[in-house]
Amino acid sequence: MSPIIVGLIGIIVFLIIMALGVPICFSMLFVGVIGFAFMRTPASAAQMLVSDLLTNFSSYTLTVGPMFGLMGFLASYTDVGRSLIKAVDSYIGHHRGGLAMGVQVASALFGAICGSTPATIGTMSALAYSEMRNRNYAPELAGPAIASGANLAVLIPPSLQFIMYGLATETSIGGLFLSGIFPGILLCALNAAAVIIILKVNPNLAQPAKKATWRERWNHTKSGGIPIIAVIFIISMGGMFAGFFTSTEAGAIGAFSMLVVTICTKQLDFKRFIRAMVDTVRLQAMVFMLMTCAIVFGRFLAISTIPTTVGTFVATLGLPRWIVMSAVIICFLIMGCFVDLVAMIVLTMPVFFPIVVTQLGYDRYWFGTILLILIAVGSLTPPFGGNIFLLKGCINFDKEATLGRLFKGVWPFCIAAVLAVVILMIFPGIASWLPNLVYG
């Protein structure tokens, strides 16, 4: 039996057992080990499995994830988010839909010290959703505004998803962080524009609020959220971009700085610290296991020669590269509706990265940015929109916020994200110029 046939059978088996409810990491692990054993020997498969488990779970490079993850959880369990949303709301909350637009800005700023979509949803839903409902915002605007705003944490550094992409493709994590800054600002602006357009069509979805005085704005600005974010970002991200330390060291320094700042400002107690530590361990254990299983599955795909065969086939078609890239974009939009964002990155990179970067010649930083936006769109859309289901769990107290109403309201924000992809296709330098300037 040819390696390609074995590889295709393995992919089909993987999809079947995943559809039966087996977690994606164990599905990849099972197919990867069995397929490798069939094409090589059981002894070599066992040796490969043990080696990858030991190597990845003891990897110094992979500790960049837990460090930035701890920084994010420390921020989410303190009053940093509350101070931030109050500050942003004081400036634009008096406009019709202002708080929904403010959530976009607050999510982008919170993402600068969090890097986690679930943490951003949890924080913003706890702080902003009830306030929006009190101001007569409809659930189909208030909920999707939070879910789409949380996707900005995917692009704004330090992003957990950029870390996973960088590790999976051996791309500079610092360069990836830089590549997400301008696209993150672009998507934030497009999300805010989506709110404005939604309310132009249906003004009854939100009502204006009382305008804050400049004294109130200044008091909210200096109260903690924005200054803390600025200090932490400059210390960790600024030091990394300046070349003073590596991305892993930046994560450690950022987590330590967040710990010190929140203790000094009396926003963190021992109970919250323990919760942050436990949640960090849980999240990173999942990520480490997912990465390891994806590597095992990727080794199976590599010896099946499917990635190289597909890449060669695409090259022989002679199609303009924008057509091929458009097909890749459609594939990710569809797959993103069914598979978790992190899992999608580690699962698809062995096949798509060589095609897009090696065969088509696209910039690796640009592709990473496009990829994260596309998969983030899938986290908003049915049938398995992860952000919407997570949001629903956070706002279960609101019986009017049904899944139907929440999914109904996400489409303008999905269009905004797709528009961001189109703009990046036309002007790729938005994502690639800065990282190539700094890292080459």
- Give the pLDDT mean for 174-179: 88
What is the C-alpha separation between 68 and 114, in angstroms, rounded?
A: 7
Average pLDDT over all residues of the chain: 83
The tokens for 334 are 């569809």
pLDDT of residue 153: 83
Q: Of 117, 63, 122, nearest to 254 (Cα)?
A: 63
Of 178-182, 231-235, 321-325, 373-377, which one has max mean pLDDT?
178-182
Residue 421: predicted pLDDT: 92
Under 8 Å between Cβ of 16 and 281: no
Nearest-angstrom CA–CA distance, 401 and 391:
10
Distance CA 369, CA 161 (A): 10
Q: Which amino acid is at 349?
A: M
Please choose, from the candidates 232, 216, 191, the residue with its C-alpha nearest in 3D space to the C-alpha of residue 108.
191
Both tokens of 234, joined, read 């400059």
Task: Write down the H helix ranges in 305-340.
Answer: 306-317, 321-335
Domain ranges in the chain are: 3-438
- The per-residue pLDDT for 98 is 86
CB 163 within 8 A of CB 391: no
pLDDT over 70 (residue 37): yes
CA distance 296 to 31: 9
* Alpha-carbon distance values, 97 to 133, 184, 200, 336 (Å): 12, 21, 10, 29
H or E segment to which residue 284 belongs: helix 270-304
Residue 218 to residue 391: CA distance in whole angstroms: 31
Residue 391 CA to residue 129 CA, distance in Å, equals 10
Measure the CA angle with vertex 89, ends 84 and 93; round to 5°.
Answer: 165
Region 242-252: mean pLDDT is 81
pTM of the model: 0.82
| Helix segments in 359-428, DSSP class H | 364-378, 386-394, 403-409, 411-426
**Which among 102, 120, 99 is positioned nearest to 111, based on CA atoms?**
120
**For 46-71, how does the pLDDT look when each residue is reduced to its tens digit (9 = 90+)?**
888 888 888 878 877 777 778 877 88
Sign of CA dihedral 297, 298, 299, 302: positive
